[in-house]
């Protein structure tokens, strides 16, 4: 779904800079976002600049022919164009303690992955580095959200329908932006790291998640970048995601969806689709406070 791509989601966040707070029902999250407003928007802006014109070549919505035409050289050229503007944004999001190290990482990025097999591995490496940079630049925001959430009531009062997000991706910036966007669409997206207070053991975690699953109207699965790009390695769905999927089935709830952001021309791995996603629909639109799929 195009508007859920990173570039479109970040573009929407940046265009709604002064309005996003009115969508957010959770006072704690709203307070922390206002407190760290500059850090948040500068980080979104940096990510937007660094992947513009690159991400579109990996989108699931474009043809295999266009994907196949995207070479390593094209990737390098677009990256170098983005880097000039990106370094200016990097000054705004990194502390002096980390700035020079981060600069060198991005300046030497192409050289370090010059032997990478293909553009899919290059994109995966770039997204992993952006994720690490974002986590460092927003570390205080993330810490405050989690610390101030301890002891929070299990049931968060909200007027919107609730969707449970099961995420294999560790991209916190994306999941936070997704939460804000869903709020604007009349959906309370339950993202565990945003809402869950500290649990002392696996039993209490399971009890907590099961209660949230019971109170969720829909289930949304966010795949890992490795799985979507068919990168070498295990594509098995992560343990906690499998547990969440299985328990949502056990509650006999039917509205299960997954986000498909990226794909690559047909490969053997592409046909090895996880049986665990059988019965899930790909998100096609968000309308009237609900997710719809095909």
Question: Over the stretch 113-136, which tens digit does the pLDDT of each residue have?
Answer: 888 878 999 999 999 999 999 999
Predicted confidence at residue 114, as pLDDT, reads 82
The answer to whether 222 and 169 have CB atoms below 8 angstroms apart is yes
Question: 3.40.50.450, 2.70.150.10, 3.60.10.10, 3.30.470.20: which CATH number matches 155-293?
Answer: 3.40.50.450
Residue 198, CB half-sphere, CA atoms under 13 Å: how many?
6
Q: What is the C-alpha separation between 147 and 144, in angstroms, rounded? A: 5
User: For position 166, what pLDDT does the model report?
Assistant: 96
Domain with CATH 3.40.50.450 in the chain: 155-293
Distance CA 93, CA 122 (A): 24
Give Dmax (Cα) for the chain.
52
Per-residue pLDDT reduced to its tens digit, 256-276 = 999 999 998 865 555 455 677
Place of tokens 């609730």: 162
Q: Taking the CA of residue 28 as centre, how many other CA atoms within 13 Å lie in the half-sphere pointing to its CB?
A: 18
Task: Give the C-alpha separation, 189 to 161, whole Å.
Answer: 8
pLDDT given at position 271: 47
37 vs 233, which has greater pLDDT? Answer: 37
From CA 276, how far away is CA 218, in angstroms rounded? 17
pLDDT tens readout for residues 102-113: 999 999 999 988
What is the average pLDDT across 206-235?
A: 88
Mean pLDDT of the chain: 89
Percent of the chain with pLDDT over 90: 68
* 213 has pLDDT over 50: yes
Residue 158 scores a pLDDT above 50: yes
**What's the whole-number mean pLDDT along residues 207-235?**
88
Q: What is the pTM of this model?
A: 0.93
Q: What is the pLDDT of residues 225-255, one digit of tens each?
A: 988 888 876 666 788 999 999 999 888 778 9
């Amino acid at each position: 779904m195009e508007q859920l791509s990173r570039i479109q989601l970040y573009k929407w966040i940046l265009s709604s800079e002064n309005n996003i707070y009115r969508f957010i029902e959770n006072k704690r999250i709203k307070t922390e976002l206002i407190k760290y407003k500059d850090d948040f928007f500068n980080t979104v802006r940096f990510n937007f600049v660094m992947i513009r014109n690159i991400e579109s070549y990996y989108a699931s919505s474009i043809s295999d022919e266009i994907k196949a035409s995207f070479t390593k050289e094209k990737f390098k050229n677009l990256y170098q164009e983005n880097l000039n503007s990106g370094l200016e944004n990097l000054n705004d999001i990194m502390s002096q303690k980390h700035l020079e190290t981060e600069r060198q990482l991005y300046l030497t990025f192409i050289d370090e992955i010059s032997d990478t097999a293909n553009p899919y591995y290059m994109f995966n490496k770039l997204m992993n580095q952006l994720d690490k940079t974002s986590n460092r630049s927003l570390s205080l925001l993330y810490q405050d959200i989690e610390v101030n959430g301890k002891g929070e009531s299990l049931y968060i009062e909200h007027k919107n329908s609730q969707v449970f997000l099961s995420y294999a991706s560790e991209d916190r910036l994306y999941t936070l932006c997704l939460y804000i966007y869903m709020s604007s669409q009349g959906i309370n997206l339950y993202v565990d790291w945003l809402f869950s207070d500290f649990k002392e053991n696996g039993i209490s975690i399971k009890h907590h998640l099961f209660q949230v699953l019971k109170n969720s109207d829909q289930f949304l699965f966010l795949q890992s970048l490795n799985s979507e790009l068919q990168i070498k390695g295990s594509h098995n769905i992560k343990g906690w995601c499998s547990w969440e999927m299985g328990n949502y089935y056990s509650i006999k709830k039917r509205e299960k969806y997954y986000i498909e952001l990226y794909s690559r021309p047909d490969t053997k791995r592409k046909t090895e689709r996880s049986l665990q996603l059988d019965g899930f629909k790909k998100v096609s639109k968000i309308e009237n406070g609900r997710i719809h799929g095909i």
